[in-house]
Structure 1
Amino acid sequence: MMTSTTTVQVTVRYFAAARAAVGNDAEAIRIAPGTTVADLVERLGARDAELAKVLMRCSFLCDGIAVRDTSTVLRDAQTVDVLPPFAGG
């Protein structure tokens, strides 16, 4: 008999202002199958008002590939990078 997966796990890595808001550079998060990037962002923002503000300006990578559509469904063992806008010179 096959068992169904009730959750999948993704690794979320935070950079710059996102890392400062979270106080950590990475965490493993269990999510329901079918969870989208937008769903994950909403869940993360619900935990902390400062992080929610930062997330509104962020770009996201899934396994190193830029996410252009936040309705992208996340898969087990993916890495999601949270990238605030960077200024440099």
Structure 2
Amino acid sequence: MAEVTTGIEVRYFAAAADAAGREKDTIDLPEGADLGTLRAVLVDRYGADMERVLSVAAFLLEPGDGGRGELTRDLGRPAGSRVDVLPPFAGG
């Protein structure tokens, strides 16, 4: 059985926060889980509204030591310890 990592912080912005009904969560995922696994958990937890948001959202991964965060839509990337869910923003 895979070891479970607690403390993966997920922060929601704009439409993602609306779909979740909150601004952040702590999600338990197996060690080394990727963004695809996180996406499946979020859709299972929050349903069709979250699925629509995630179909166009990008994920901002927590930066490494001294690095900058990485913005990605690659669901094969490891989730890490913090993920921001960023739907497209309107305006400028």
Where structure 2 has 5 or more consecutive residues not aligned to the other structure, the ranges are: 63-68
Identity in percent: 39
Which residue does the alignment assign to 2:21? 23
Q: 1:67: Cα distance to partner?
A: 2.1
Tell me how far apart the structure 1 counterparts of residues 21 and 11 of structure 2 sit (CA, whole Å): 11
Structure 1 residues 68 and 52: alpha-carbon distance in aligned structure 2, compared to 1, 3 A threshold: closer
66-75 or 23-32, which deviates more: 66-75
* Root-mean-square deviation over aligned CA pairs: 1.5
Is residue 57–residue 73 contact of structure 2 (8 Å, CA) maintained in 1? no
Work out the number of aligned pairs and report it.
83
What does 1:25-64 correspond to in 2, within 5 Å? 25-47=23-45, 48-63=47-62, 64=69
Q: How far 1:29 moved relative to its partner?
A: 0.7
User: Where does structure 1 lack aligned partners over 5 or more consecutive residues?
Assistant: none
Q: Distance in 1 between matches of 2:79 and 2:48?
A: 24
| Matches of 2:73 and 2:28, distance apart in 1 | 23
Q: Does 1:79 align with 2:76?
A: no
Q: Which of structures 1 and 2 has the bigger CA Rg?
A: 1
Q: Equivalent residue of 2:49, what SS?
A: helix
User: Structure 1 length normalisation: TM-score?
Assistant: 0.83
Distance 2:33 2:83 in 1: 13
